[in-house]
Each structure stands twice: as C-alpha cells, then as structure tokens.
Amino acid sequence: MVRVFLLGPNRWPSTTTDPEAGLKIRRSLIQDNEDLDAEWVLMEDSKRPGTMTAKFLAIVKDPATTHVFFLWPRDCKMAGPEDELALWQALKELTGVAPELYLFHQAGVLEVNPVRGEHEVAILDSQGRSPYLRELLQYGVFLQEWMDLEDLRREIRNVLRSDVGVPVRQHRGVVHFGSRADESRSGTPSG
C-alpha cells in the first residue's frame, strides 16, 4: 500500500489573500485521487501530541509512509515547507532511509540541460532560499514539472498511476460516476 505525505506552502502565489489556499489545494488533490488505492497524510491532520518537528519526524520515520510529495510553486514564500525539506534531508543524511521524495516543481523552479554529456539539473528559484534547500537535489529527489494548477492535478495522478503504479481501488458494490480518467501529456518535447 502506498502512503503519501503531501507537503507544500499554505500561501499560494496566485491566491495570496487566502492564507489557507495551499492547504485547500492539497485537500482537493487528495479528493481528486480518492478512487486510487493510496493513503494520504497531511501535517495539519496529525493528532499526535508534541512539537511540529516530532510530528513531522513521526510521519516520515513511519515505514508505512512510502512517499513524500512536495509542491513547489514558482516564487512562493514557503519558510515552513523549506524546513520540512531540511528535516527530510537530515533524516536521509543520518539514517540513509527516508520515504521517496517527489518534487512537483512549477516550470521555472528548476532547469534541466544537456551539459558535458549529462542532463544537469539546477534550482533556479533559489533567491532568498535556505542554503540547505540548494543542496536538496544532491539527496536523490524524483522530479516532476507542472505548468499550472490543472497540469499539477494531472501530473499528481500520472505519477501515482504511471510512475508509482498505484491501482484504482476495488469497490465492492459501490459505483462512482464521473471519476476522472487518467490523462497523460503527449507530443514531442521541443529542443
């Protein structure tokens, strides 16, 4: 069973007036994929007593948590989520074992270029960010780009279905109408 710990900023660049826009987006992403055989965890829903650090570590150290999905919109303030990434890095550094981290980065956050016979990757959206964040990619992170919110919805589902191989939940006598069909982008990349 796949269990995804879904992280991201609460303030979303396009809806800065709503302090919980990011949380609403994360909840809606979970709702989009409720037909899949996966469990979801949000920090905000954790009932564990103690500090936020203790809560975070309890979730990522739980062997049942198989993946961390991190949403990174371009030019977004995200002090708390940056700290969470640093904690994930610390866990990987100290133990060598951590849930697989998928970085869902909006176009413009990272760049991938063929340089000296390899696909080099670098963080572009690093101004004002923690120096620890700039080291994140060295720890082995799966990368998935998205353009806008609709694309993010598609790519979350595509990663779950195609990359991770999460099956559709087997319903027993209950029929859900209007569930989203899997979608993939096709076409050839430019360049």
Partner 1 sequence: MVLVMVLLELPGRAIMTHTLGLFAKEKELRFSDVKKLTEYLDPEVDRALKYLKLNHFIRAKSTKLPDMNRTVLVYSITARGRAAWEAIEIYGRAIEEREDVLGRQEVQEVREVLQV
Minimum CB separation of residue 76 from partner 1 in Å reads 20
Residue 120 sits in the site that holds partner 1 (CB under 8 A): yes
In whole angstroms, how close is the CB of 145 to partner 1 at the nearest point?
Answer: 9
Q: What angle do CA 183, 30, 36 make, to 5 degrees?
A: 60
In the complex, the smallest distance separating the C-beta of residue 29 from partner 1, rounded to whole angstroms, is: 17
Task: Determine the Cα–Cα distance for residues 29 and 41; give it in Å rounded to an integer.
Answer: 12
Question: Per CB under 8 A, does 131 bind partner 1?
Answer: no
Q: Is 69 exposed, middle or buried (0-12, 13-18, 19+ CB in 10 A)?
A: buried
Question: Can you tell me which of 49, 96, 131, 165 binds partner 1, judged by CB under 8 A?
Answer: 165
* Calpha distance 75→55 (Å, rounded): 27
Please pick, from the candidates 117, 128, 131, 178, the single residue that binds partner 1 as defined by CB under 8 A: 117
Total Cβ atoms within 10 A of residue 135: 14
Residue 96 lies near partner 1 (rule: CB under 8 A)? no
Question: How many Cβ atoms sit within 10 Å of the Cβ of residue 20?
Answer: 14
Interaction residues for partner 1, span 29-88 (CB under 8 A): none
Contact set with partner 1 (CB under 8 A): 112, 114, 117-122, 137-143, 158-159, 161-165, 184-189, 191
